[in-house]
Structure 1
Amino acid sequence: MRKLLLSSIIVIVTLIYLGRLSYLQLIDNTGSPLDDTAIKQVYDYPERGYIYDRNGKLLVANQPSYDVMVIPRDVKPLDTLEFCELLNITREDFIKKYEKARIYSPRLPSVFVPQLSKEEYAALQEKMRKYDGFYIQKRSLRYYQTKHGANILGYIQEVSDYDLKRNPGYRPGELIGRQGVEEYYEDILRGRKGVKFIQKDRFNRDIGSYKNGLYDTLPVPGKDIELTIDNELQTYGEELMIHKRGGIIAIEPKTGEILSLVTAPNYDPSLLVGRKRSKNYTKLYYDSIANPLYDRGLLAMYPPGSPFKTLTGLIGLQENVITPESRVTCYHGYSYGNRFMRCHCASGTVNDLRRGIARSCNAYFASTYRKIIEKYPTSAEGLTAWEKHLRSFGLGDFLGYDLPIGKAGNIPDSDYYDKAYGKRRWYATTNISNAIGQGEILTTPIQLANVTAIIANRGYFFTPHILRKIDNKPIKDKKFTKPKYTTVDRKHFEPVAQGMFEAYNTGTARGIRVEGINIGGKTGTAENFTKVDGKRVQLTDHSIFVAFAPVEDPKIAIAVFVENGYWGSRYAAPIAALMIEKYLKGEVTRKDLEKRMLEASLEEEYAKPYSGKPFRINE
């Protein structure tokens, strides 16, 4: 028994020893080239993946760039004045950069001066042999084939200390994606760097590849991606929004693919490339007037205004409190208590659902909202049912699109009003402005575009997304390819869609008609407030328009917001009509609208401290 036990112990110890030895030799690299002070690592950085639009147009490529690297322990006395002149830096900069590199690691390479141009590199490379401890590392920077879509594309910059702590695969001086698809799809676009291990002798001279390149790896290029964006449409949208502020979101309803994502003002993406990137970024960042780095299409939250009436109608139909034929007589607005919600219907106008949408009748939708809330035993229960329907449209929450920024918007719930007024102390009339997209409701432009796509699809949507293909292979992520259905039955969407067509054909949007295209649209005006000297002041309202086309077979759904643009039909509706015609026809026939929008400027409006309190009607 003792012999058996002893033999077993010997066998087990031997197996453990052999296993550990095999692991150290075949798998574990620690203690071999990486930790040996006589081994130098030279990285070979891959090309970042190219970015194309949906039609195969190249948007972002690469251009060569050169970093001056330093290994502090290898640096020998040098003519710092000459070296600084070559690099266009001061002696103080030299000392600061060297100390930073030395603190990071005396024996590992650090970026000393990043992103030299080809001209700077040519002037420097011949003299680099004079400066021991310094060498040039080739990388690639972005080269933009477009001046538009900076908010979509994003940019790349040197990793920060925070990045290094969070991502051990990066090293100081490496580049990482920021904002847009560069950030969201960093892992796909980045590729994988290669490394060569060079052995040094006792005089610190290179003597050849370590172990004949046993541990060397080749770089793996980043993957190319194709976006859902139509670059022509994106460019046109940005041109239409010059001298204006706001956002345009266009979506293909049948797929959820984002066709354009315009924020205004925007900037030329090439400004954030090269050694001037930091200076240009600082200038853009501190422009607190125009806020060009602020993506209004994804981040700005506005009251949706009258386009929200379509949702009030849909919920009213689903809750069986109205039918498409239900009629309401409007006396130039809606009266409740001692208050009056004005609209532009003539006194005595009788509207059903279709005409109520076409004429943007406040009385029709305020009475519908009351019926929804008052259907239930308590206002809280009624509002909960209303809120549940809205959330199924993607409101009050993040949509889940593939971009790194966004806002959830706001759909108030019963708890909000309980806290504000007390339980059972508020009623439908307390928050009846919700009926027309005012009150506490806030949406982002992309959310409202998605709602419009849902109406176009008659009840379902695909999560909006911006990636179409990776290395020419279509994406198959169920997150973006599986339809999501609302709580409103399909049958209820047709009368609402027809009401939107009537708004375009004979109603509030009739001035933007385009020959040969049936458009379903809804104008809107959103109240705009700010604080001046601590007081709440009403500014000029925002102009809003949502639309889809063609009504019979929708290929585009769009939402346009123009800040301080007065009413929906003044700026937002013409811009939307031009975008729709441009996408569907490839050209624009409404040259009158085009000329007016291209030349229109709201800069004087934005320059005012506030616009007073203009007369407002809800379109």
Structure 2
Amino acid sequence: MRKLVPILLIVVVGIIFIARLFYMQILDDSFSKLSQTNAVKVEYDYPQRGYIFDRNGKLLVANQPSYDVMVVPREVTAFDTLEFAKLLGIDEIQLKKSLKKARVYSSRLPSVVIPQLTKNEYAYLQEKLRKYSGFYIQKRSLRDYKTKTGSNVLGYIAEVNPREISANPYYNSGDLTGRQGVEKQYEKLLRGVKGVKYLQKDRFNREIGPYKNGIYDTLPVKGKDISLTIDEKLQAYGQMLMTNKHGGIVAIEPQTGEILSLVTAPSYDPALLVGRKRSKNFTKLWYDTINKPLLDRGLQAMYPPGSPFKALTALIALQEGVINTKETMACHMGFSYGRRSRMGCHYHKSPVSLVPALAQSCNTYFAKAYWRTIENYPTAPKGMDAWQKHLKSFGLGDFLGYDLPIGQPGRIPDGDYYNRWYPDIRWAASYTLSNGIGQGEIATTPIQLANITAAIANRGWYYTPHVLKSIEGNPIKDTMYTKKRYTTIDTKHFEPIVEGMHGVYNYGTARSLRIPGVEICGKTGTAENFTRIDGKRVQLTDHSIFVAFAPKDDPKIALAVFVENGYWGSRYGGRIASLMIEKYLNDTITRKDLEKWVMSHSLEEEYLKPYSGESFKINQ
């Protein structure tokens, strides 16, 4: 019992200290009112933001010192604005604008005049600033990026705006906050807590010491260090493979839902958005309308899923009991339906059963499976509702709930959707047949496709994808990311789908992409690509899509690759997916032929076609 006394004493003192700190900083507003008096000066001591590491402990984001020139407008006396502007390295007009903005914000509270000086600028200015009353230098910390990749995941920090200051009393003018990515999502963890000092002033406005012997002063609390699920080596490799290409790569660990890589291309060096050049660089990135480097294509871009969607078409048809693994269907290089409609198919063998149909991507088989699913109900709208319900259980048609602040829900139509499209007729499955092969009105994001692949790899369940692995070394316990989510498809129906996807590599559409010693299951996809030029709908080069997981029976990685204007699934998407899997599982590349091909081919000319008018002329 005596041994417990010191421990209990420490715990009690700690609780008292935390309670007092909470009361002073959150509940007690007496010290905040001190900033409104003329006798007390408030100074903030800004904490270091928390460090960010990858899943293997590699430091991704640290801190570097920065210095802001601050002003308290009511304390400013007459001075030579031209001389001071030259000292600060800005023009006189900019200085006057900053002072006017500061007075509008508050005459008593400090505002930033010049943000983020370097060490050399600070050393030069420090001694000369004494002659300008009302001005002082505030030390802060800026981000120091130890990686050149993952800017879309990491995000950046920037000065708070007036709306944020009004909404959150923690922030003052000139404070920095997270923007995009992890910096925004986990701002409260990373920012820490500011320290505050209250300095007593005499009637001549001179500082004479701490107010009330510093009883209201608090020390800064450093932000929490966090580790991400991202594998920096895999992320960098994926970014390299996507050089001169547009698209996204999302890789997930199926057994945990941890996001291993979230590549968007083109991207940018995160260091571009640090320091005084941040605003200028951001403007350049924002107005790059061809490459759109600020668009996270892995989370925000919505595309038709193409042939990878056939796996879901088959799973739903199996669950609904309208097909089985032994039945064969005739395919005469296409499927004719309606009066004059026909869906083409490149597969030449007939009849075909489920597993080889998936391996060889037979359009006819999956169009018929979709038809039977919808027509299995009294009306097509009810069939569509049942079909949509199954797809929703895979996380489609809605935000997945991952822990990043941006994204798109995709689109999975239901019965009402087509009732609005065809208000005056009794529509049937034939009106929506393209849905069965991943075209039509379906739209998905790359992260949704990767999550679908993880669910298939797990034979029917998945964890919500996430990028936060641990906080200060403690694994996350949020049930949002640790609770299994089950699909509406019975486990037994997944095995033939896995066999079909395995066949894609063994004898199907990706047989040339096999990796020695690795059993990979995958699915190629080609999605039609349309845009509008001069008000006309124009078809451009198809998108290349590929989903895969490996190993087959003990999956460690599931991923989706989407390459805009990449022709067909195995051309770009398949090669990149195979290389990513080998890199992650073996940390070496044996298929140098695939790597060399990917790195030596560029799609930049494809992306310039809509702007040159070439594609418009071709498709007239």
TM-score range, shorter chain: over 0.9
Q: Which residue of 1 aligns with 2:11?
A: none
1:184-583 equivalences in 2 (<5 Å): 184-337=185-338, 338-346=340-348, 348-422=349-423, 425-583=426-584
Q: Distance in 2 between matches of 1:219 and 1:124?
A: 26
* One-letter code aligned to 2:335: Y
Aligned counterpart in structure 2 of residue 611 of structure 1, from 605, 608, 615: 615
Partner-residue secondary structure (3-state), 2:324: coil
1:123 aligns with 2:124: yes
Give TM-score, length-normalised by structure 1: 0.94
Q: Which residue of 1 aligns with 2:20?
A: none
Residue 324 (structure 1) shift: 1.3
- With over 3 angstroms needed to count, the CA separation of the structure-2 counterparts of 1:549 and 1:32, relative to structure 1, is closer
Percentage identity across paired residues of the two chains: 65
1:58 aligns with 2:59: yes
Task: Write the deviation string for residues 282-338 of structure 1: whole angstroms up to 9, x where unpaired.
Answer: 000011110000000000000000000000000010001111112112111111121
- With over 3 angstroms needed to count, the CA separation of the structure-2 counterparts of 1:420 and 1:613, relative to structure 1, is farther
Q: Which residue of 2 aligns with 1:598?
A: 599
Q: Distance in 2 between matches of 1:332 and 1:392?
A: 33
Residue 351 (structure 1) shift: 1.3
1:93 aligns with 2:97: no
Q: Which residue of 2 aligns with 1:75?
A: 76
* One-letter code aligned to 1:281: F
Task: Write the deviation string for residues 224-272 of structure 1: whole angstroms up to 9, x where unpaired.
Answer: 0000000000000000001000000000000000000000000000000
Q: Distance in 2 between matches of 1:187 and 1:32?
A: 24
Partner-residue secondary structure (3-state), 2:571: coil
- With over 3 angstroms needed to count, the CA separation of the structure-2 counterparts of 1:375 and 1:563, relative to structure 1, is same
Q: Are the equivalent residues in 1 in contact too, given 2:35–2:109 (CA < 8 A)?
A: no
Residue 108 (structure 1) shift: 1.5
Task: Write the deviation string for residues 129-160 of structure 1: whole angstroms up to 9, x where unpaired.
Answer: 11111100000000000000000000000001
Q: Are the equivalent residues in 2 in contact too, given 1:539–1:614 (CA < 8 A)?
A: no
Q: Distance in 1 between matches of 2:206 and 2:435?
A: 76
Q: Are the equivalent residues in 2 in contact too, given 1:306–1:525 (CA < 8 A)?
A: yes
Q: Distance in 2 between matches of 1:40 and 1:545?
A: 61
Partner-residue secondary structure (3-state), 1:560: strand
Residue 344 (structure 1) shift: 1.1
Q: Distance in 2 between matches of 1:587 and 1:491?
A: 35
- With over 3 angstroms needed to count, the CA separation of the structure-2 counterparts of 1:523 and 1:195, relative to structure 1, is same
Residue 612 (structure 1) shift: 6.1
Q: Are the equivalent residues in 1 in contact too, given 2:35–2:108 (CA < 8 A)?
A: no
Q: Are the equivalent residues in 2 in contact too, given 1:249–1:297 (CA < 8 A)?
A: yes
Q: Distance in 2 between matches of 1:585 and 1:278?
A: 41
Segment drifting more, 477-486 vs 528-537? 528-537
Residue 93 (structure 1) shift: 1.1
- With over 3 angstroms needed to count, the CA separation of the structure-2 counterparts of 1:27 and 1:179, relative to structure 1, is closer
Partner-residue secondary structure (3-state), 1:608: helix
* One-letter code aligned to 1:550: P
Q: Which residue of 1 aligns with 2:103?
A: 102
Q: Which residue of 2 aligns with 1:11?
A: none
After superposition, the CA RMSD in angstroms is 1.6
Partner-residue secondary structure (3-state), 2:386: helix
User: Where in structure 2 are there 5+ consecutive unaligned residues?
Assistant: 1-22
Number of residue pairs the alignment of both structures matches = 591
Q: Which residue of 1 aligns with 2:184?
A: 183
- With over 3 angstroms needed to count, the CA separation of the structure-2 counterparts of 1:121 and 1:308, relative to structure 1, is same
Q: Distance in 1 between matches of 2:135 and 2:476?
A: 44
Partner-residue secondary structure (3-state), 1:583: helix
Q: Are the equivalent residues in 1 in contact too, given 2:299–2:407 (CA < 8 A)?
A: yes
* One-letter code aligned to 1:611: S
Q: Distance in 1 between matches of 2:29 and 2:245?
A: 59
Residue 35 (structure 1) shift: 3.2
* One-letter code aligned to 1:342: G
Q: Which residue of 2 aligns with 1:140?
A: 141
Q: Are the equivalent residues in 2 in contact too, given 1:241–1:264 (CA < 8 A)?
A: yes
Q: Which residue of 1 aligns with 2:12?
A: none
Q: Are the equivalent residues in 1 in contact too, given 2:36–2:108 (CA < 8 A)?
A: no
* One-letter code aligned to 2:278: R
Q: Are the equivalent residues in 2 in contact too, given 1:379–1:424 (CA < 8 A)?
A: no
Partner-residue secondary structure (3-state), 1:442: coil
Q: Distance in 1 between matches of 2:504 and 2:361?
A: 8
Partner-residue secondary structure (3-state), 2:268: coil
User: Where in structure 1 are there 5+ consecutive unaligned residues?
Assistant: 1-21
Segment drifting more, 577-586 vs 325-334? 325-334
- With over 3 angstroms needed to count, the CA separation of the structure-2 counterparts of 1:542 and 1:353, relative to structure 1, is same
Residue 77 (structure 1) shift: 2.3
